[in-house]
Amino acid sequence: MRLRNVKNAKSIIEECEYVVKWSSETLKGNWESIFGNSNPIHLEIGMGKGKFIHEMAKNNPNINFIGVEKYESVLVRAVEKVNKDPLPNLRLLCVDALNLPDIFNHEIDCIYLNFSDPWPKTRHAKRRLTSPIFLDIYENIFVDEIMGGEKRIIQKTDNLILFASSLKNLNNYGYTFDDVSLDLASTEIPNVETEYETKFKKQGIKINYLNASKK
């Protein structure tokens, strides 16, 4: 996602108390105290400008939400939303998903992957957020089965190459599919639109959806 640089983006991000400044010592294993409750935690990786995660947090006050984005130039747009309408159950993190095991110790219940970069070339397949490399990473951050946890990944994408590889990788990794659709709009599945999704829908592009879980 390319965006025009926002003036003072760095200081806007630093001054926002809802952006968690990350270091393994202060965050890993401490998310209950960061939110002040033991509610489930849902993570959106690659949240972009943050419309989805903000609306989800607003609609679901008994779930904690964290939006992860690797670029400050993009994250700042989500920070602007949070500054306008702060929510106690929403935090933002500027980090590459590769670093998530340094930040969470089996504390996440659900991961949303909305319109992730598709990396359509085969030689880039390992960069896809549902490649076996990332599924290994998620194993480290998902709540353990021993703790009564169920791992859930929900993905939406316009891209069929990414979608097909997600279905294959998740199936090979032991996930089962609770819902799959090649046209989300034709289903009754409750949905909060993302910025990208709104653009694609206006162009008449169908949205692929999967909801997969694993013990």
Ligand X SMILES: C[S@@+](CC[C@H](N)C(=O)[O-])C[C@H]1O[C@@H](n2cnc3c(N)ncnc32)[C@H](O)[C@@H]1O
Rule CB under 6 A: is residue 208 a binding residue for ligand X? no
Nearest of 125, 97, 117 to residue 158 by alpha carbon: 117
Q: Which residue number, 64 or 157, has a Cβ lying nearer to ligand X?
A: 157
CA distance 104 to 143: 10
Nearest of 192, 59, 196, 189 to residue 115 by alpha carbon: 196
Positions annotated as catalytic residues are 117
Binding mask 59-98 for ligand X (x = CB under 6 A): ---------xxxx--x---------------------xx-
Nearest of 139, 140, 118, 136 to residue 127 by alpha carbon: 118
The single residue among 119, 142, 196, 209 that binds ligand X, judged by CB under 6 A, is 196
Q: Do 214 and 150 contact (CB within 8 A), yes or no?
A: yes
Applying CB under 6 A, what is the total number of residues that bind ligand X?
Answer: 20
The single residue among 55, 149, 195, 206 that binds ligand X, judged by CB under 6 A, is 195
Give the footprint of ligand X on this chain (CB under 6 A). 1, 45-48, 68-71, 74, 96-97, 114-117, 194-197
